[in-house]
Structure 1
Amino acid sequence: MTTDKTATPERGWPVLLPPALLTLLLGFWGVERGGSIWRDEVVSYQVAHRSLPEIWRLLHEIDAVHGLHYLLLNTVFRLWDGGLPALRLPSVLAMALAAGALAETGRRLAGRRAGLLAGLVFALVPAVQQYAQEGRSYASVCAAVVLGSLLLVRAWQRPTARAWTAYGAVMLIGALLHEFAVLAMAAHALTLCWGRAGRRVWAGWAVAAAAVLAGVLPLSLISRAQADQVAWITTPGWSDVWAPALTSAVGALCACLRQPAAPGAPCRARALALPLLVLPPAALILVSFLDPLYVDRYVVFSYAGLALLLGLALDRAWARLPRALTEWPVPGRPVVASLALTVLVLAPLPLERGLRTPQSRPNDVAAAARAARDLGRPGDAVLFVPGARREAALYDPAAFAGLRDLALARTGADSGTINGVETGPERIRAAVAAQRRVVLVTDPRPRAGASARDQAKLAALAARFTPCRTRAIHGITVTLYTVRGACG
């Protein structure tokens, strides 16, 4: 498709601001989730509070894939150590940026109304609201991919070196935040094929893509050497596949609708949206049958493609309404639009409220820390099974003040690890045998393949202790053990 260099109208603020503001509003609503925080967020929280040399040392051992996000959060906490709101602030702002960028992309490709509707739909997608309130990198990756998609459209319209440099820089940032963002560039290649881009456009994209791949290659090599940290991921099953399959089917149906391009658009919006929706999750799922890597949050940016396609479908539906409705008198249009927006926002309200509760995440580490504080008393010992459950003490050290960690030999900051290094099994058994009260923080269900250290902890407790009191926290169990006969 040839490029018409007559630019689309420059005034995009009325289109991109409402979705961005709605996303901000929804992002800040209940951002603390009742004071709860789950394990992955705890890692972000405690690593971001370390010094820069300590973070750098950690990244040489584990979690290099999240290194740029940790550095971003470290900067945020240096400026404002505001607890959970500060932890989640970058994600809220990133999703707001993504909503505005998606609306502008839709405006350039399909017109103002389609762009506005796409941005509003994006703000209301449950996954978008979920990851807008998580202190991880996925919202920032989504923002980089959506902004990069907008810059791709701009570079396609005006293929200058500056435009392709901006596109490549933003996509590189996304890939450095999480390397699977490069799958979005593969989707962009399909978009160029679908839109029959010219040689000049292909040349600019190829240079930008090569620069991104070269820039992310060192991170990919390091993260590949740290592959043990994703050993928990299993081969995809139906529970993993049905959601992306359903959204892809819905997107494909929307793409079948007649969707005229906006004046000056280099391609139709569906040529950008459908590959972005389908290719990243599909490619990662297929690869995962050989090397399990698929987790839905790794490709949350694919929901931008779904939102754009749904926005186009709503735009087509509006165009087919009776003229008596579409030609409503001008003074009444804001009222009608406000009512429609209210219905659109309130319809998913029960689901939105659920996303802002502790039960919306796999576990609640903050509640586990409070339970340990309530069950224990100064002088008691504490054990974590597995050792990764030490995240409760790392997030809220005050709750464990006065409790002695019997297994810990070196802290995470000192050892360049996330949860620290534990002593040997024999020392753990001897240390437990000398106690009268032990607080155990563990998973509700024992995991197969427990380490020798964890087996030593449980065996030492079984030898002379009995459970006295238990708190079943969401996703975590905290139990006070006492020597037999001393529970009262």
Structure 2
Amino acid sequence: MTLLPSGVMLLLGAWGIRRQDAIWRDEAVTYDMAHRSLPDLWHTLLHADVVHGLYYALMHVWFRVYDATLDGTFGAVVGLRLPSVAAMTAATAGVALLGHRLVGRRAGLLAGFTFACIPVVQQYAQEGRSYATVCALVVWATYLLVLTAAAAAPPPSRPHPQPVPHPRPGLWPGYTALMLAACLLHEFACLVLPVHAAALILARLPRRVLRAWALSAATVLAALSPLAVFSTRQSAQISWLMWPDPLQLLTFAVLAVLGLACARVRIRSRGPIGLRALGIPLLLLPTVLLLLLSHVEPAYVDRYVLYYVVGFALLAGAALARLLRPAGELGQTRARRLRRTAAVALVLAALLPVDVHLRSPDSRVDDVTAVAQAVRAVAEPGDGLLFMPARRRIWRATRPHDFRGLTDLALAESPLASHTLYGTERSGDAIRARMLASRRIVVAGDPDGQPADDNDQEIAKRATLRDAFRVCSTTEVRGARITVYGRAGACGAANAR
């Protein structure tokens, strides 16, 4: 039953996985961290990105195998994204099994297909970050929770129309391990715990089940707490989060409305945990809780709670299973079924342009590959190089050869030597002195409309370029601007402005 939807997800994940070899900045961080030695990675995590430490360590092990066997065949970009494709394929299988367990075989199949077709699922299936893996772990932990509830529920007082065999008890350790792994990969996976609590309470299971779940949840939170406390020291890393992205909020709102509409379809659940009791909280609670948390400290990004789409897939799959049931079943006419099938086909056709866009370099906020190629195209040996702001130095992480022959004027210590993500920079006065000693400088910076950092180094860069240099040429690429600055006479009359 899981093979068909999982196969579809695998094909969708493989379709356009290279994305013209475009990599965006977060994937470049993953690539850089995964290729550091484990001691270097450990020292880096003490300064930054500790919340992703487990994922980087796993990717380090993966690349040790991948680089030694397949890197020459498929390339680094494919290696970066293959684990996410595999994780989302596993998540699709888990969604199908959940739908089967909660409602029935047809609902499970359609839930799996629905999950695979959601654009945001396809987006993170092709991204070298932890979110697909977290989603898969949450799905399978939820599946174990449903199995455990079925094993612990009292036998029904009357025969069920579709009897569900009770599995063996003792699944709580597996549930705890999966939830802990998900939370260690990303702390906001813990927001699914209130969802599970709500599902168990609504199912009116015996108190011993609630106590067992509470013990598992407490174990997960206790094991997560050292990481959570330590990561608060690095909260400046998400200081760029000011308000939720409108498009992300719109996506959530659309799925929430559609999911609640699907929940209104008359559906009979098979086990003690009902479809609505699990699907609706899973769809709504994680995002709502994260939005509430963002009122205290901005923290909302949809990928942090990507697993909320599982709730929509379960509700939509069950609704589709009823609406698209075979003609004649429960009095449905063939014409009505054909109309509903055509409506589903139209929705899939409408999603096709979105799916194609997700597989283009323009689908992400920037393109590290394009930046590196643009720098190589305009630079001359001996040119100075500046990244504005300094965190854009990550643009050189995956293609350092494109920056060969250039002098990074602001760099004091490299990212590897300083155990940081972006390296450390000299003082503003030192940067200014080095800039004034240069004839030409290539600047890789943000495009217009981005907020400018106001630290000493960035102020020195901007002031010196404005006062002592002229713009020779400008190249716009996805999410970046490559500008060549020259001293008087360095640009040439043809391209100076």
Question: Same fold by TM (over 0.5)?
Answer: yes
Partner of 1:476: 480
Residues 13-43 of structure 1, C-alpha deviation per residue, up to 9 Å, x if partnerless? xx21111111111001111111111111111
Q: Give, in angstroms, the shift of residue 90 of structure 1.
A: 0.9
Counterpart selection for 2:21 from 32, 35, 39: 35
Preserved CA contact (<8 Å) 1:386 1:450: no
Partner of 1:233: 241
The 3 A distance-change label for structure 1 pair 237 and 361 is: closer
Q: Distance in 2 between matches of 1:214 and 1:425?
A: 44
Distance 1:383-1:76 versus aligned 2 partners, 3 A rule = same
Q: Structure 1: 5+ residue runs without aligned partners? A: 1-14, 329-337
What is the SS of the residue equivalent to 1:468? strand
Deviation at 1:383, TM superposition (A): 0.6
Report if aligned partners of 2:389, 2:452 keep a CA contact under 8 Å in 1.
Answer: no
Distance in structure 1 (CA, Å) of the matches to 2:461 and 2:246 = 37
| Aligned counterparts, 1:399-438, within 5 A | 399-438=402-441
The residue number in structure 1 matching 2:252 is: 244
RMSD of aligned alpha carbons: 2.1
TM-score by length of 2: 0.89
Alignment correspondent of 1:125: 118
Match in the other structure for 1:169: 177
Matched, 1:277 2:270: no
Residues paired across the two proteins, number: 463
Cα shift at 1:243: 3.2
Whole-Å separation in 1 of the counterparts to 2:397 and 2:245 = 34
Match of 1:142 among 132, 135, 139: 135
Gaps of 5+ in 2: 153-167, 335-340, 493-497
Structure 1 SS opposite 2:148:
helix
Q: Matches of 1:424 and 1:172 in 2, distance apart?
A: 42
C-alpha displacement of 1:320: 7.5
Q: Deviations over 1:364-413 (max 9, x none)?
A: 11100100001002111101110011112222100001111111111111
Contact 2:259 2:315 in 1 (8 A): yes
Specify the code of the residue in structure 2 equivalent to 1:276: L
With over 3 angstroms needed to count, the CA separation of the structure-2 counterparts of 1:46 and 1:161, relative to structure 1, is same
What TM-score, normalized to structure 1? Answer: 0.91
What is the deviation of 1:233?
A: 1.1
In structure 1, how many angstroms separate the alpha carbons of the residues matched to 2:363 and 2:250? 20
Q: State the Cα distance separating 1:258 from its structure 2 match.
A: 1.0
Query: Aligned letter for 1:422?
Result: E
Sequence identity (%)? 44
Matches within 5 A, 1:32-431: 32-81=18-67, 82=71, 83-159=76-152, 162-236=170-244, 241-262=249-270, 265-319=271-325, 321-323=327-329, 346-431=349-434
Deviation at 1:247, TM superposition (A): 2.0
Match of 1:440 in 2: 443
Contact 2:368 2:396 in 1 (8 A): no
CA distance in 2, matches of 1:284, 1:25: 32
Compare 81-90 and 137-146 and name the one that shifted more. 81-90
Which residue of the partner structure matches residue 24 of structure 1?
Answer: 10
Q: In 2, Cα distance between the equivalents of 1:339 and 1:291?
A: 45
Q: Deviations over 1:396-438 (max 9, x none)?
A: 1000011111111111111111000001111111111111111
Distance 1:95 1:326, change over 3 A: farther
Question: Are residues 478 and 268 of structure 1, via their aligned partners in 2, closer, same or farther at CA, if it must alter by over 3 Å?
Answer: same
Distance in 2, Cα, partners of 1:221 & 1:59:
14
Contact 1:161 1:204 in 2 (8 A): no
The alpha carbon displacement at 1:240 in A equals 5.3
Q: Which amino acid aligns with 2:27?
A: E
- CA gap of 1:243–1:339, structure 2 versus 1, over 3 A, is closer
Distance across 2 between alignment mates of 1:407 and 1:269: 57
Distance 1:28 1:375, change over 3 A: same
Partner amino acid for 1:312?
A: A
Q: Secondary structure at the match of 1:257?
A: coil
Q: Distance in 2 between matches of 1:410 and 1:248?
A: 47
Amino acid at match of 1:95: M
Tell me what 1:9 maps to: none
Amino acid at match of 2:210: W
How far apart, in 1, do the equivalents of 2:296 and 2:330 lie?
57
Say if 1:432 and 1:142 are closer, same or farther in 2 by CA, change over 3 A.
same
SS at the partner of 2:296?
coil
